[in-house]
Structure 1
Amino acid sequence: MTDEKTIHSIADTLHIQPKQVRTALDLLENGNTIPFIARYRKEATGTLDEVQLRQIKEQAEHEQALADRRETVRQAITEQGKWTDELAALLEQARRLQEIEDIYLPYKQKKKTKASIAREAGLAPLADHFWEQDSTGMPPEAAACPYLNNAFPSIEDAIQGAAYILAERLSELTPYRRWLRQALWKTAKLECSLQTEAKEASSLLTYKDFSERISTLPSHRILAINRGEARKILKVTLAENTDGHIEKLVQMALRRSSPYTQIIKNAAADSYKRLIFPQMEREIRADLTARAEKQAISVFAKNLRSLLLQPPFTGQITLGLDPGYRTGCKAAVIDTTGHVLTYGTYHLTSSEKQYKDSAHALSNIIRSYGVSLIAIGNGTASYETEQFVSNLIQNDQLDCHYIIVNEAGASVYSASDLAREELPELDVTIRGAVSIARRLQDPLAEAVKIDPKSIGVGQYQHDVNQKSLSATLDEVVESVVNYVGVDLNTASAALLQHVSGLSAATAANIIAYRNENGPFCNRQELLSVSRLGPATFTQCAGFLRIKHSEEPLDNTSVHPESYKLTKKIVEHYGLTMKDVKHAKTLRELQRKLQMNAVPILAEKLQAGEPTIRDIIEELRKPGRDVRSELPQPLTRKHILSLDELKIGAIVRGTVHNVVDFGAFIDFGLKTPGLIHRSELCNHPFHHPTDIIQVGDIIDAMIISVDAERGRIGLSMKRLRDTENA
């Protein structure tokens, strides 16, 4: 159970009421999923959305981790008999894990160090004598004489041994560590130099003689530098004001002039160079990496969400093409429900005879099966395949369009157990073409079959913490699947297992029940599925759709627990639920439904306004696919070439990927164009995803063409400036 102090801390951070935090945590602790709470417990939480609920969950877990560490530290210090009220107060005030560790540092059991060896040799009293800084004390040499032994046989050795103890003590000064940490974050720089001139260093030439303050380093640079360092191409150092920082430590250590001042100064310099700064450098580098990874994962998550929400191309016979050189282009035609009609392999880049034979065969297939859309994978030989398709459409006057599809992960899916189960009669290479075609028909249903990390949006996904990346991307998939809703009678197990409350096991049980008993007739029938009880039903039912159910609300996001309330709303307008089944009377009801009636209905029916608002939204558009309101990706009939591009020309394209430094745009060329973040717009923004999203269709002006390097620079900002001129 989360304590009240933590609840108020979370509420203050997120600018919400403690009651909302308390309720959200109670619901989560009772096994409710975030999509379910966000959608169906709005009255209880005060309409907290998924983002806020995840923030509450994450901060509660963070606070719990801090509390656990505080308790561990308290117990460890208490066992040493050194626990004080002052330590208790300091520990309670610590808000970061590092602050707790700073407090614990002097009491932490250490491995064998120079200081511990000196202590074992009995030099601690000598170090204490120096530390007292008695202005009338005897000279250091005289003070050291009684402490000579086999380990430290000379006066110089004894003084040095005591200095090691002082250095360790100075390294544990919490106020200094706090001050230095702040100073380094303000002024320190990360500096890089090349360690090799080899070919693999060419991609990192930007970081030759590189220097930038750590406070301004963007995440993509941090991750690029880390990669270069890991590959031993870059030497990376943290540059800071060593002399100034040592002087500050000396000031904090010296209390008065004494015969031991120089020993204290030497110990401070040793402490800083040997103990404090190396530890701080590791801490800062780790913190920089953690921040960069968090940002990269966040961008990946935003891009993945946009990609998964791409609208489906419904009702079209689709030809999927998985391009290739030596092994040929794999082709598969699927019908409007994703079933394979025909397939084959065609050589488009070999001899002229093979080219003509392939053109003749594919032209016949397109006409015979009524193909209206062609999906071309964007991998190897994609450009040549696009040229082939463009010529085929024009030369044979075919009534179809094509679109380039991101094929990332298709090969992973093709060789998976799931692909073998779904397409047992097809070769692994043909399964890739089927996957490419299905990605157009229903991007979400196909994408959930692939590890999100393999989908290929974002940057540096292989350099970040893989556990954190996987957890975040799984949350995105869960969020999108439940936001869109799932057809209970057609969904695969791969899709069902992401529905609120369902696991891989219950998803498999649903499929088994469906195979044995036929399509589900209504949502209540879910309770007949093995190991799917009332609690699971409550979590999942509202997100599962049944198009031809005997209960019309089963094809909406209205939860079964609100069916009675929905019927009362319909009756309020003089109709019955039977009327909802018929198009004419449904339109009559929709004309009557107005959002300004929500408060009146809430008062009359003794129900919450958020729930009534959601019900009215569903009755106004029953069975709608929220993705259908988004613009579909661009289709084409012909291909562009670099020779056709001119500076100042306007092109239309689809956003392929968004990264920290800009966005890549597919506008029909082999290489996507880049809109640098400086060319997105005139007004300030935090990140390119604030301006542009994966899947957006945009117009941009060509501002640079580098044919030799295959680079095209685009600008949205200059296009708007031209339009407004």
Structure 2
Amino acid sequence: MRCLANSLSREFSIAEKYAKNILALFEDGATVPFIARYRKESSGGMLDVDLRRFHERWQYLVELEKRRDSILATLEKHPSCPQSVMLKIKRATTKSELEDLFAPFKSTRKSKATEAAELGLTPLAEALWAGVLSERSKDISEWLASSNVSLGAKEALEGAREIIIETLSLDVDLLKQGRELLLSKGQMQSKLVRGKKEIGEKYRDYFEYSEAVRKMPSHRVLALFRGKKESILKLIILLLNEESELSRLNLSHLIGLFDAQKNEKNVAFCKLNVKQKEYLLLAWDKKIHSKLEGDIFSILKEQAEEGAINVFANNLNDLLMSAPAGAHRVIGVDPGFRNGVKLAVINELGDVIDHGVIYPFTSESQKDKAMARLLDLIKQHKVAWLAIGNGTASRESEQLINQLIQQENLSCRTVVISEAGASVYSASDVAINEFPDLDVTIRGAISIARRFQDPLAELVKIDPQAIGVGQYQHDVKPAQLASSLTNVVEDCVNKVGVDVNLASASLLSYVAGLTKRMAQNIVEYRRQKGRIESREELLKVKGIGAKAFEQCAGFLRVLNGREVLDSSGVHPESYPLVRSMAQAMSTQVDKLLDNGAAINQLQLKFADFSGVDRYTFDDTLKELAKPGRDPRPEFRYAEFDQSVQSMSDLVEGMSLEGVVTNVAAFGAFVDIGVHQDGLIHISQLADRFVKDPRDLVRVGQVIKVTVLEVDEKRKRISLKATGL
């Protein structure tokens, strides 16, 4: 572990002792949220996002070492492997470098070069490369006669060239430099595949396209690769001024190419001769370029996928951490024309207390019945909010409900929210288990109402990929995307904390240290025993032992329980510290909570508390100052312009309010209430240069925009942000 700790400490610019501590914690089963919140003294205060990167890098290095050991074990049985190669393998820092070094020794099908070597043409290849023999037929024939090789001069020359080309194409240093050259100087070009113009219309921007490889943004790379996958586009990477660029590479090690393979000689720096340059260009055209082009495609796709996953993860984080409306009585409204408007009434705790379906859009008589039924639900259950899904019939439903509110002088309000993923939830096993006796359409309305109360608590029940805040999510590796999004959900849940007596099994399963089985066991325990009165009581739940308790306890809240600190983010292991603090202030523990004066005095008394580190001391005081604080912002909602119901109502220059639904590298999408999100291009976010749209806008944020352009045919709305 020491070697890994040393490497990771340098890479992450932290002391080696912290790297060792973090590795020890991970190996002991500690979770990222737990280390980030309750083991800052061990990590040096490393943030959760950096701990995630540290963990991923650690896993990569572990796999690298396993692969290195496997390759070395194989090559130890390979008599022709030079010690210099073994040494390079021991020093390799990436998996690709390892594979390049190992490639010449893999047992593969016979190549033309292998067949030529078996015919005894390697010495001829050596002589040609070294320049001691020319390619003239006479010279080749003389060499063949003296070497007793029974081949024609033309066939022998072709075989020798194949040996030179393959030897060059397997040279690790040449491949490394060539790869770097294509990355820095290469041009990606895309062309339309013949006969695909009609079906590939959406890719028309890329029918004749060229861009420097190093400048390509991730969304463009993924678009090009999707076009290639669909056989619409042909992609190539070109090196402009190829001969000139290759001549600038440091290729001195190639002078004694075959000697270096056999005798490991050190070759003094010098340039390739004219003939060697010709062989190099031949090898580049026949083998090296195509191999490296494939490598660059893989690198670009991997980087683009990482970028797309990061965009998705950031948007998901912003959505989950968006402001909860809180404990209100809410009617969730899932709009529809022919199939009716589904209604679900929930109380302050999220329990369903009524539901139904109304048909206000089928006829006037049905409309009157629908409004009477809705009015009855609002009055009977003292509803404060009506949360309306933003799908089909959304604005029409909002308009009708607002008319009812005005006519009847009701005190409730309407808000339009994203219903993305509600239909996925409504048909899921989670929804079926929660509401086995309710129709699937009513479950969708419940989800809309609950996500208004608390987005985090409800959205964790839905596969993150169904929430609709990503781009090109079907073009990235599913496992990598799922892992990243799961990490985001876990971090959000643990930042906010979870009420152990109200949380669903879905929400509990994301708490640090808890498995899905443990989460379900907590729910079952509540059903059988009733309310959980303390964190300590969790140890009575089946499956939760000392280790799981250590990881999860600080993130679970027990409100109005036997222990006042159980409602805070103070970990049970720090309860003795809090009691010592209370004793030092001659007061009771509960009197310390939200007591600014006492907290200020305690901040000066750190030296009086032995055996506690500064991180734990300061974090404990912060939690006591605002116990159980919610890190999410205050609730705010967008008020759509009631005169704007569809794209046809939009006019250039119009000022509107909307809510950000998605943020990409090139800009932000905004719902302005017309069933089609508008796009604020990154250049229209501010009157200054903006590197990253997330510096100004986040998913769920309410902003003001100006309409720049409307294209109803292509369903495109261009917007400009105002006041950011």
Please give the TM-score of this superposition, normalised by the length of structure 2. Answer: 0.90
Whether 1:547 and 2:545 are equivalent positions in the alignment is no
> What CA distance in whole angstroms lies between the structure 2 residues aligned with 1:435 and 1:341?
14
Aligned partners of 1:180 and 1:245 also within 8 Å: no
Post-superposition offset of 1:269: 4.2
User: SS of the counterpart of 1:139?
Assistant: helix
Aligned partners of 2:659 and 2:703 also within 8 Å: yes
> What CA distance in whole angstroms lies between the structure 1 residues aligned with 2:158 and 2:561?
85
Residue by residue, what CA displacement relative to the aligned partner does 1:339-373 show, whole Å, maximum 9, x if unpaired? 22222223344344433432333233223322221
User: SS of the counterpart of 1:530?
Assistant: coil
Change in Cα spacing, 1:249 to 1:35, as seen in structure 2 (3 Å) is closer
> What CA distance in whole angstroms lies between the structure 1 residues aligned with 2:77 and 2:142?
37
User: SS of the counterpart of 1:47?
Assistant: coil
Aligned partners of 1:193 and 1:234 also within 8 Å: yes
Could you say which residue in structure 2 is the equivalent of 1:583? none
Whether 1:20 and 2:22 are equivalent positions in the alignment is no
Post-superposition offset of 1:224: 0.9
Amino acid at match of 1:165: I
> What CA distance in whole angstroms lies between the structure 1 residues aligned with 2:220 and 2:126?
46
Change in Cα spacing, 1:601 to 1:3, as seen in structure 2 (3 Å) is closer
Whether 1:671 and 2:676 are equivalent positions in the alignment is yes
Residue by residue, what CA displacement relative to the aligned partner does 1:269-288 show, whole Å, maximum 9, x if unpaired? 44222321111111101100
Amino acid at match of 2:638: L
Whether 1:94 and 2:92 are equivalent positions in the alignment is yes
User: SS of the counterpart of 1:462?
Assistant: helix
Could you say which residue in structure 1 is the equivalent of 2:117? 119
Q: Percent identity?
A: 37
Taking the TM superposition and a 5 Å limit, the aligned residue runs for 1:339-378 are: 339-378=351-390
> What CA distance in whole angstroms lies between the structure 2 residues aligned with 1:250 and 1:512?
68
Change in Cα spacing, 1:267 to 1:145, as seen in structure 2 (3 Å) is farther
> What CA distance in whole angstroms lies between the structure 2 residues aligned with 1:168 and 1:523?
67
> What CA distance in whole angstroms lies between the structure 1 residues aligned with 2:133 and 2:203?
56
Change in Cα spacing, 1:78 to 1:337, as seen in structure 2 (3 Å) is same
> What CA distance in whole angstroms lies between the structure 2 residues aligned with 1:128 and 1:302?
56
Aligned partners of 2:521 and 2:542 also within 8 Å: yes
Change in Cα spacing, 1:249 to 1:42, as seen in structure 2 (3 Å) is closer
Taking the TM superposition and a 5 Å limit, the aligned residue runs for 1:603-682 are: 603-627=608-632, 629-634=633-638, 638=642, 640-641=644-645, 642=647, 645-682=650-687
Unaligned stretches of 5+ residues in structure 2: 258-271
Aligned partners of 2:639 and 2:657 also within 8 Å: no
Aligned partners of 1:639 and 1:669 also within 8 Å: no
Residue by residue, what CA displacement relative to the aligned partner does 1:127-182 show, whole Å, maximum 9, x if unpaired? 33433431589712332457898xx8643222212221221111112232222112
Aligned partners of 1:250 and 1:264 also within 8 Å: no
> What CA distance in whole angstroms lies between the structure 1 residues aligned with 2:251 and 2:9?
41
Whether 1:42 and 2:47 are equivalent positions in the alignment is no
Aligned partners of 1:453 and 1:461 also within 8 Å: yes
> What CA distance in whole angstroms lies between the structure 2 residues aligned with 1:13 and 1:215?
23
Match of 1:292 among 304, 308, 317: 304
Residue by residue, what CA displacement relative to the aligned partner does 1:241-283 show, whole Å, maximum 9, x if unpaired? 3444676799866679xxx999866654442223211111111
> What CA distance in whole angstroms lies between the structure 2 residues aligned with 1:267 and 1:719?
62
Post-superposition offset of 1:660: 1.0
User: SS of the counterpart of 1:613?
Assistant: helix
Match of 1:590 among 596, 603, 617: 596
Could you say which residue in structure 1 is the equivalent of 2:160? 162
Change in Cα spacing, 1:159 to 1:622, as seen in structure 2 (3 Å) is same
Could you say which residue in structure 2 is the equivalent of 1:9? 7
Change in Cα spacing, 1:130 to 1:248, as seen in structure 2 (3 Å) is farther
Aligned partners of 1:167 and 1:271 also within 8 Å: yes
Amino acid at match of 2:685: L
Residue by residue, what CA displacement relative to the aligned partner does 1:493-533 show, whole Å, maximum 9, x if unpaired? 11111111110111122122211111111111111111211
> What CA distance in whole angstroms lies between the structure 2 residues aligned with 1:245 and 1:106?
26
Could you say which residue in structure 1 is the equivalent of 2:126? 128
Taking the TM superposition and a 5 Å limit, the aligned residue runs for 1:239-638 are: 239-241=238-240, 242-244=242-244, 267-577=279-589, 579=591, 589-594=595-600, 597-627=602-632, 629-634=633-638, 638=642
Aligned partners of 1:377 and 1:407 also within 8 Å: yes
More displaced stretch, 447-456 vs 405-414: 405-414
> What CA distance in whole angstroms lies between the structure 1 residues aligned with 2:590 and 2:47?
33
Could you say which residue in structure 1 is the equivalent of 2:264? none
> What CA distance in whole angstroms lies between the structure 1 residues aligned with 2:649 and 2:583?
63
Could you say which residue in structure 1 is the equivalent of 2:50? 52
Change in Cα spacing, 1:434 to 1:146, as seen in structure 2 (3 Å) is farther
Amino acid at match of 2:54: I
Whether 1:236 and 2:248 are equivalent positions in the alignment is no
Residue by residue, what CA displacement relative to the aligned partner does 1:212-238 show, whole Å, maximum 9, x if unpaired? 011000000011111111112222222
Amino acid at match of 2:232: I
Change in Cα spacing, 1:261 to 1:637, as seen in structure 2 (3 Å) is closer
Aligned partners of 1:316 and 1:336 also within 8 Å: yes
Amino acid at match of 2:355: Y
More displaced stretch, 262-271 vs 313-322: 262-271
More displaced stretch, 420-429 vs 633-642: 633-642
Change in Cα spacing, 1:147 to 1:563, as seen in structure 2 (3 Å) is same
> What CA distance in whole angstroms lies between the structure 2 residues aligned with 1:159 and 1:249?
27
User: SS of the counterpart of 2:474?
Assistant: coil
> What CA distance in whole angstroms lies between the structure 2 residues aligned with 1:288 and 1:672?
29
Could you say which residue in structure 1 is the equivalent of 2:269? none
Amino acid at match of 1:99: E
Change in Cα spacing, 1:355 to 1:239, as seen in structure 2 (3 Å) is farther
Could you say which residue in structure 2 is the equivalent of 1:185? 183
User: SS of the counterpart of 2:603?
Assistant: helix
Post-superposition offset of 1:591: 3.2
> What CA distance in whole angstroms lies between the structure 2 residues aligned with 1:559 and 1:240?
59
Aligned partners of 1:250 and 1:268 also within 8 Å: no
Amino acid at match of 1:701: T
Post-superposition offset of 1:654: 2.1
Amino acid at match of 1:140: I
> What CA distance in whole angstroms lies between the structure 1 residues aligned with 2:654 and 2:180?
49
Aligned partners of 1:401 and 1:637 also within 8 Å: no
Post-superposition offset of 1:564: 1.0
Amino acid at match of 1:624: R
User: SS of the counterpart of 1:499?
Assistant: coil
Amino acid at match of 1:236: L
Post-superposition offset of 1:28: 1.0
Provide the aligned C-alpha RMSD in A. Answer: 2.8
Could you say which residue in structure 2 is the equivalent of 1:702? 707
